Amino acid sequence: MLPMTTAMIDMVAATLVVLDVPAAQDTGTMVNAVYRTVPKTGAPRVLATVRMRSMFQPGSDGSRRTAPFGRRFVSDVGAGGAVAHSDWESYTVHVFPVRGTPWRIESHAPARAVTQADRDSVINQTLKTFRAPTVASLPPQLRAQLDAKFTTFPPLGLIRVLRDGTVWIRPVVMAGEAQARWDVFSAEGARLGQVRLPASARVKDGERGWVLVVQLNDDDVPTVVKYTVRQAINSRS
């Protein structure tokens, strides 16, 4: 049985991996969280231990939601078990390779302001999800989250660890931009360069010379696309 303080569940090479975040009396308290396997038999294997803010209180049922535009961790576990983790408060990513010494990335991410249109979009989507006619009809906890006054988007949007340990990081996409910046680092932490992909693209798999992404086509239908990566994206199939 998984702990009620499980913040993330993933499947890596047919093995369940979880992020176990200890509960704290006050949410937001810094704790030591653990990425670990949940094997069918045998002892679990710790992949990484990270410092992050707890989102659980003692006795938590694990159902706590993050407020729109709120700060929450962003991470990925690669096929080989390498972990990349950020607390989402700044462009700082900690990487734990399968072999070798852990390393850290610190860089700059643009600041994207939260506009009234952004807030209205979240409210409309929430009403649709919960089939509620008005904000006043939503549960009190959910209304409080919608009232949270975050003025900027989190600095990082996505992290992906590819099959060879290469790390792809997408900072926040600015409003109206058709393409998104992805910063690419080797498994050892060397900066390999920067790639521009369509803003809708989500990197799913690949290695140093190519990536598979899911992106929306002209009809807004999700489509799998393979890009060859050299110094820049220069081919697609």
Residue with tokens 């900072």: 171
What pLDDT, on the 0 to 100 scale, is given for residue 52? 92
103 located within any domain: yes
pTM given for the model: 0.85
Q: How far apart are CA 113 and CA 133, in angstroms?
A: 28
227 located within any domain: no
Residues contacting residue 81 through CB under 8 Å, at least 6 positions apart: 12, 13, 17, 45, 47, 98
Full domain range(s) for residue 172: 6-197
202 located within any domain: no
Q: What strand order describes the sheet that includes 191-198? A: 156-161, 167-171, 179-185, 191-198
What pLDDT, on the 0 to 100 scale, is given for residue 49? 97
What pLDDT, on the 0 to 100 scale, is given for residue 203? 96
215 located within any domain: no
| Number of domains present in the structure of the chain | 1
209 located within any domain: no
142 located within any domain: yes
1 located within any domain: no
What pLDDT, on the 0 to 100 scale, is given for residue 40? 86
What pLDDT, on the 0 to 100 scale, is given for residue 234? 39
3-state helix, strand, coil in the chain (%, to 5): 10, 40, 45
Q: How far is CA 5 from the centre of its chain?
A: 18
Q: From the first residue on, what is the mean pLDDT of each consecutive set of 10 residues in the chain (237 residues)?
A: 80 90 88 93 93 85 62 88 90 93 91 88 90 90 79 90 94 92 94 93 93 93 92 44
Count CB-CB contacts under 10 A for residue 149. Answer: 8
Side-chain half-sphere CA neighbours of 228 within 13 A: 5
Q: What is the dihedral of CA 80, 86, 91, 92, to 10 degrees?
A: -80
